[in-house]
Structure 1
Amino acid sequence: AFYNFGFHSPGIDPGSLTPRTMESKIVKGLFFAGEVLDVDGYTGGYNLQAAFSTGRAAGKYAAVGNM
């Protein structure tokens, strides 16, 4: 069983995104969420919360065409 393990997660720099919408500051209309972001959290569901929250924001703004 795995009790502790490490991982490396290069990904999209959150600083290159608009936080409220998760839209790229470089490519308008391009949204990122979840595991593609360069963010890490402690084990115990913290990464899931980040994925759910960023996914909701990105989906909401992508769907309404708030570009």
Structure 2
Amino acid sequence: EPKIVIEVLADEITRSPLHTAGKSETEPGYALRFPRLVKFRNDKKAEEATEVSEIKRLYELQYKKK
């Protein structure tokens, strides 16, 4: 069960068949390209961490800007 929340910066969100975040039988998962730990978020609970639906939204948003 997740207990630690961290803040991460990354260059971009990519699709990956190896990563399990958002992965399904027909879709690859999501991965962070060049992730960097910013800080531990002791003020947050695991339930407050970013959900896969938000990662999907950010993934789609990054390509609308290009």
TM-score clears 0.5: no
Question: Which of 1 and 2 has greater Rg?
Answer: 1
> Which structure is richer in relative contact order (CA contacts within 8 A, separation 6 or more)?
2
TM superposition score normalised by structure 2: 0.30
TM-score using structure 1 length: 0.30
Structure with the higher fraction of residues in helix conformation: 1
